[in-house]
Amino acid sequence: MLDKLGNSVQQVAKNGSHKYLIRTFNGGENLSRNKLAFNKTLIRLFIKQSTTKDTYLHAPWVVKDDLAKKYKVITKLPDDLKKAKDEAREKSRKRKGKATQGGPSKKTKVNKGTNARTRGDDDQKGGKKGAASAARGKRVPASKKQSRATTSKEQAKKAAEKKRQKEREKKKRETERKKERERKAKEREVQKRLKAEQKKAKYPTEDLDVPLDRNLLSKRPHMVLDFKIPQKYIGTFLMTWNFFTVFGKPLGISFLTLDDLELSFYHNIIQPRCTLVIEMHAALLNAIIRDRLQSKSKKRQPIPRVVPALRDQINGPDDMDIDDRKSVLASRDVLERFAKTWDKKVISSKDSRKGWECVLIGCLYQMGTYETIPNVDRILSHLAPIDSINASEEDFEGYFSTLEVADKLQIMEFLINNVAKTTLIHEHIEGCVSRQTELNKEKNEIAKERKQIANSLAEIVKTNVTVPRGKGKDRSDTDESIVTRKRILEEEEIALQKREENIDKEKRRYALPRTNSMGRDRFHNKYYYFDEVGLVVNERYGTGRILVQSPSSRELVDVLTEAGRQKYNKRRKLEESFGSEEAQWGYYEDPEQIDDLLKWFNEKGQRELLLKKEIISRISDVKSGMVKRMQDIVASRKSAEVRRSRRTQATKALLSQQPYMKWFNKFAK
């Protein structure tokens, strides 16, 4: 410690001024320190002072040995970095080998480790040597200079070409790596999307959204389309059969199969008479007549009558034949005569429905319009031609027999639509609804009883497990009591199950005429099974088929978007071997086809899951009806072949043996 004068002192006063003397090792000439600021320069300096790095490309920074030992840092390179180091050294070794084979290098390499002072000394020495050489007066020949210049140009050219080649290879590798990265990125994106979809998808879902498994791809089994009835009128034909099946008993018509009805529309001769055709028309006409008579007795306003004078003023369809209208006008007297008397009394069954054709003509003339019967003029001109003034009832029956099938179906549709409005049908519907309500209540009671039995059985099983067994006779009596009680409950459950099945069968008997489809498949085709309603319940079969109705283009517009329509068309073309823009009907008549159809359904789709369950629930009745129908067809063909082999047998006799000609009306009124 020094005082004010610079003398060393041991003790000083407290309030005195003092100076401190600091002595450095190197005299204080190089005393310095870094700034106390954290910046990039200090970071670089720290890395430079504490680490080392090899000269090859992408070499890692390694902590210096003294610091590594002091701070216990591992300096051993990992396997991947060590491998990169070895590869770099191998490449360097190969380059040096090529340089040695190619001759001495023209460039003089400067050692990086030399300092400026050494290089300066070398330059001075070189300068002295150059001066000495110049002093000696030695000269290089011009040819040798030119050769050296040419060689240097070629080497420069090769070096430039080699550099360009490396650049091209580098760009190529970069392009390939970029493509590989893009490909892997796309694959990852696809996998990610698929996983998201699989995680997101919940089945059952929309049928057309279910992925198509091409390994399990199978076409829908081909259905039969060859109805005798034209496709345009199959809907009317099926409606007719269903109406007679549901309302046959109140109308007074016995059960008839779909095949019998189809053949009856093609009966076109007077003798032998077709009882089925006569009874169907008579039953419908009688229902209309009874309702009109009842309306008159109650003094209600009758159905307005369309007289010929007004009919002439109605503009019919553009394609209506003018000759048909003239024919109707020419036979007006005959039509007026039938129109005045047709609804005076019902057609009796005692005289074989005599005069039913005249009643039909009067009904059509008085009640028919262009809206209800588009071909009404053509039909009337055929049923009552110009020369029919003196025609007999048998002649009128012949006129009806020769009508076209389309006209017969139009007449049938017209009559059914009018019968559906009568009191007879309304009362029957109310009775069906009331009976179905009673059956539903009874079924609910059965469900409660079955639940109680199930609980009792579960209690027996639980008691049998938990209660300790006795010994000897007591144990035997206990086991026997449990077995007896269980057997009684199981018998009661079986009886209730049979009773429930009978109720379901009875409910189908009272089903209303608007029969619902069993469901739809992925292409919105509707499936119908008509053999479980009305009079068919206790018969062998009604149609013996599953009927299918394809959707029309108008229906698809209501259920599909534009994108959905494209998907629909693509899938339908791939999976269906048939298809049409317009609605058409077909059917399956073979049990094997039903098995193939069930295999084709995909339970992941909402519609097909429900449809498959519905068909499986009725599969035994469906297949049984199909087998019985095929047996009847085979038996009928064999019988016809036997009769044809007998030359003495007449054609009319053969016709009378057809199944539809053998039909008999048990409910005739």
Output the pLDDT for position 574: 80
Rounded CA-CA distance 384/54 in Å is: 117
Using DSSP's 3-state secondary structure scheme, residue 52 falls into strand
* 126-140, 179-193, 251-265, 568-582, range with the lowest pLDDT: 126-140
Rounded CA-CA distance 264/403 in Å is: 12
Q: What is the pLDDT of residues 286-342, one digit of tens each?
A: 999 999 998 876 544 444 444 443 344 334 444 455 555 555 565 788 888 889 989
Confidence of residue 566 (pLDDT cuts 50, 70, 90): confident
Residue 551: asked if its preceding bond is cis (omega within 30°), the reply is: no
CA 172 to chain CA centroid, Å, is: 47
Helix boundaries (H) for 201-233: none
Give the mean pLDDT of 471-490. 72
Confidence of residue 615 (pLDDT cuts 50, 70, 90): very high
- Greatest Cα pair distance in the chain: 170
Three-state SS sequence of 234-273: HHHHHHHHHHHHHHHHHHCCCCCCHHHHHHHCCCCCCCCC
DSSP 485-550: HHHHHHHHHHHHHHHHHHHHHHHHHT--SSPPPSEE-TT--EEE--TTSGGGTTSS-SS-SEEEEP
Q: 251, 655, 207: which is closest to 424 by C-alpha?
A: 251
CA angle at residue 271 from 265 to 275, to 5 degrees? Answer: 50
551 and 523 Cβ atoms separated by less than 8 Å: yes
pTM of the model: 0.63
> How far is residue 622 from each of residues 51, 67, 182, 540, measured CA to CA in Å?
89, 92, 57, 11
Please return the burial class of 383, using the count of CB atoms within 10 Å of its CB with bins 0-12, 13-18 and 19+. Answer: buried
Confidence of residue 154 (pLDDT cuts 50, 70, 90): confident
463 vs 361, higher pLDDT: 361
Rounded CA-CA distance 106/212 in Å is: 72
Q: Give the residue extent of every domain in the chain.
A: 150-200, 428-509, 519-662
Q: What is the pLDDT of residues 66-123, one digit of tens each?
A: 999 999 999 888 999 889 889 888 888 888 776 665 554 444 444 444 444 444 444 4
